Amino acid sequence: MLYESNPILDKLPEHLKQFIKPQDYADYTAIDQAVWRYVMRKNVDYLSKFAHTSYLEGLQKTGIAIDHIPNMYGMNRILQEIGWAAVAVDGFIPPSAFMEFQAYNILVIASDIRQLEHIEYTPAPDIIHEGAGHAPIIANPEYAEYLRRFGEIGCKAISSTKDFELYEAVRHLSIIKEAHGTPKKEIEAAEAHIEDLQNNMGEPSEIALIRNLHWWTVEYGLIGTVENPKIYGAGLLSSIGESAWCMTDQVKKIPYSLEAAHTSFDITKPQPQLFVTPNFAFLNQVLEDFANSMAVRKGGLSSIQKLIQSKDLGTIELSTGLQISGNFDYVIDFETKPVFFQATGPTALSYREKELVGHSAADHCDGFGSPMGKLKGINLAIEDMSPRDLKAYTIFEGQTITLEFEGGIKISGEIITGTRNLKGEIILITFRNCTVSHHKKVLFKSDERLYSMAVGEHIVSAYNGPADLNSFNLINHEVSTSTSKPEISPERKKLENYYLQVREFREGINTTISRHKVFQEVCKQFPEDWLLAMELYELAKSNGDADFAHEIATYLEALKSNNPKVGQLIDDGLQLVNASFVA
């Protein structure tokens, strides 16, 4: 096992475990630790005034420290007390898998950390975003339940083929943007590709719409009133740039509603508007309203049509409770009602999320199709027929009959047996020498093989994924590109060593180093680095070395002139240190 498990993680199905990777805490450099420390100290200072009260309380409850990147094993021991757990993953994972983790009360945390050059914001998931953004807020019970419920509903959302293409493109951009030395042209091409995909998505799928809801709440949500909002979205909590930007009048504040599901976003740019929920309970209300529009609750012809368009593994559930899981190929309808459906390739039949004996994907390896609906001229649906009704219509074993359904679907053959559900309703009728036709077109012939016809008047639900997770081999996680660790240059190693020396001095591990000499060497060898000087400035102030502090502050002021991009970061850092030493 690549990670330390616990009772919550033990409940994970195997297909989710394939996304988990070890955290490899030793891979974090002293520069990484300094980045974490700067962002967290700045965030805690700023967010103590502008974040929802659950944020600071949650930092303590979840064991997230300001001075150290969190170790997930330690986090899990604390998270378990509030019924949650955390796992490390490799960057972006498919949206449905991400949401399914949430349904199991598990936070997925991208264990990489942003580069110093992207300290304010990165489009890539990283441990600052996931650990310092998502984890603290789940200490609020109402919000935690929203997150769990969102995952439960979101993992049932039906996607489109374009959704996966967009996911791969966003994942690729996040990887190359955080990789050292990626040419600017390559990043620009990746961004242009995403923009092109976003502009040509067509009718948004369920997963696209619910992803919008996720973005405007879990990632970029505000809470309170439009006039006086507080931050709770992880994307804002983890971005020292956008957390300040979002509170200005330049960002429009809109009362949260179902409209958020139809408001798209651009992951590569600051958001021009944000939604404000009055409280966490209202998030669940909007989520339930959205769920009512999904195929998982609406059923009907449109629900199976969504699965057909998705070209992905999905499930339809009939009014008898029979569940058919597979890749749906086509549907025949009559008066806007499905009267025949066909799944292609391995297909499994289940009842109450448990596969029926003899109806596995291996038993239906070539697909499964069936008539459905009412029999022509008979008001009573087959599932509602009593044993006497069935006998009256000669629907019982040993009879060779022809059943004609509404819409011109006919099935002829010898009835062998029937399968009933717990209510006593017939959910399958098994035939021998069976022929299924639509008007004059033969859809299926079983010859000597047995054929089981699904029984159900209508489709009550359709959703992403199989009914029984054990029916299919879902261990198929492959991505076109994977995060990779670049080879570290000798110069970078030298800089990392200086950071390590300063860190060890602050923590009392090695107090024999000369901080003045480290400062001089960094100024000479790494004239663009500002964060280590900031750490030395803090140490000088804490040790009462006013001359050294003044020397560093003068250097940082000069650095601002030469590199205006880091000017605000330097100002914020100096202000934070100075404020902490005011008598």
DSSP one-letter string for 345-367: EEEEEEETTEEPTT-STTTTTT-
CB atoms within 10 A of CB 422: 9
Same-domain pairing of 444 and 553: no
Same-domain pairing of 265 and 373: no
CATH number assigned to the domain comprising residue 43: 1.10.800.10
Same-domain pairing of 38 and 97: yes
Q: Is 479 within the bounds of a domain?
A: no
Rg (CA), the chain: 29
Same-domain pairing of 355 and 283: no
The total number of structural domains that make up the chain: 3
Same-domain pairing of 388 and 445: yes
Pick from 256, 251, 254, 257: which is nearest to 270 by CA? 251
pTM score, whole prediction: 0.87
| Dihedral angle, C-alpha 333, 335, 336, 341, nearest 10 ° | -20
Positions of the chain with pLDDT under 50? 1, 479-482, 583
Q: Is 310 within the bounds of a domain?
A: no
pLDDT of residue 554: 95
Same-domain pairing of 166 and 58: yes
Same-domain pairing of 80 and 211: yes
Q: Answer with the one of 288, 314, 338 that is the final residue of a domain.
A: 288
pLDDT of residue 448: 80
Same-domain pairing of 460 and 505: no
Pick from 234, 156, 216: which is nearest to 465 by CA? 156
Same-domain pairing of 265 and 388: no
- How confident is the model over 370-414, as pLDDT tens digits? 999 999 999 999 999 988 999 999 999 999 999 999 999 999 999
Burial class (CB in 10 A: 0-12, 13-18, 19+), 579: exposed
pLDDT of residue 480: 39
Q: Is 318 within the bounds of a domain?
A: no
Same-domain pairing of 449 and 514: no
Q: Is 294 within the bounds of a domain?
A: no
Q: 367: which 2 tokens?
A: 């697909």
Q: Answer with the one of 465, 499, 531 that is the final residue of a domain.
A: 465
Cβ distance 230 to 51 under 8 Å?
Answer: yes
pLDDT of residue 104: 95
Burial class (CB in 10 A: 0-12, 13-18, 19+), 493: exposed
**Rounded CA gap, 189 and 171, in Å?**
14
Q: Is 2 within the bounds of a domain?
A: no
- How confident is the model over 67-76, as pLDDT tens digits? 999 988 888 8
Range of the domain at 235: 9-288
Q: Is 122 within the bounds of a domain?
A: yes
Same-domain pairing of 138 and 184: yes
Strands (E), 353-505: 354-355, 368-371, 400-404, 409-420, 426-438, 441-445, 450-454, 459-464
Residues 6+ apart with CB under 8 A from 33: 67, 68, 69, 499, 503
Strands (E), 283-362: 314-318, 322-334, 337-351, 354-355
Same-domain pairing of 502 and 450: no
